[in-house]
């Protein structure tokens, strides 16, 4: 158990819908990262927050947005869903420091029908 929690574990929805994925980082971790894992794209970085502020953006679609709340949990919002958004979405968290290992949550498996 990495200490990072993600809900829900599975999500099945229809095209055009909107969903929210939730992540709670490890106790004491200020950074939260979101990654998408799909068969064709592999593991791709989406976005990163540090202590409530957006720090870096990767290959995140405009239909996707995220935020980190004062209690440090984070939410990833996916809207106008398409079939191609079906993937495993991971949240990871890390502390500051030279090694700064990112510990991953169990992931949310999203299926868009």
Partner 1 sequence: AQKITQTQPGMFVQEKEAVTLDCTYDTSDQSYGLFWYKQPSSGEMIFLIYQGSYDEQNATEGRYSLNFQKARKSANLVISASQLGDSAMYFCAMRPTGANSKLTFGKGITLSVRP
Contacts with partner 1, residue ranges (CB under 8 A): 2, 31, 33, 35, 42-43, 45, 48, 50, 55-56, 58, 88, 90, 92, 96, 98-107, 109
Q: How far is the CB of 44 from partner 1 (least distance, A)?
A: 8
Min separation Cβ 109 and partner 1, Å: 7
What's the Cα-to-Cα distance from 108 to each of 3, 35, 55, 71, 100, rounded to whole Å? 15, 11, 23, 21, 23
Task: Read off φ and ψ for residue 85, nearest 5 degrees.
Answer: -85, -10
**DSSP one-letter string for 30-88:** -EEEEEEEETTTEEEEEEEEETTEEEEE-S--TTEEEEE-TTS-EEEEE-S--GGG-EE
Residue 15 or 60: the one with the smaller Cβ distance to partner 1 is: 60
Which CB, 13 or 37, lies closer to partner 1?
A: 37
Tell me the closest approach of the beta carbon of residue 20 to partner 1, in angstroms: 20
- For the CB of residue 3, give the shortest distance to partner 1 in the complex, in Å: 11
Nearer to partner 1 among residue 2 and residue 80 (C-beta): 2
**Which residues are 67's β-sheet partners?**
75
Of the pair 15, 42, the CB lying nearest partner 1 is at 42
Q: What is the DSSP letter of 8?
A: -
């Amino acid at each position: 158990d990495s200490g990072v929690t993600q809900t829900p574990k599975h999500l099945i929805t229809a095209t055009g819908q909107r969903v929210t994925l939730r992540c709670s980082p490890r106790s004491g971790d200020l950074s939260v990262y979101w990654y998408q894992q799909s068969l064709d794209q592999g593991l791709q970085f989406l976005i990163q927050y540090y202590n409530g502020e957006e720090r870096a953006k990767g290959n995140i679609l405009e239909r996707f947005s995220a935020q980190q709340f004062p209690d440090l949990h984070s939410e990833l919002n996916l809207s106008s869903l398409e079939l191609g958004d079906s993937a495993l979405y991971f949240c990871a968290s890390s502390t500051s420091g030279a090694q700064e290992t990112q510990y991953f949550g169990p992931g949310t498996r999203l299926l868009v029908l």
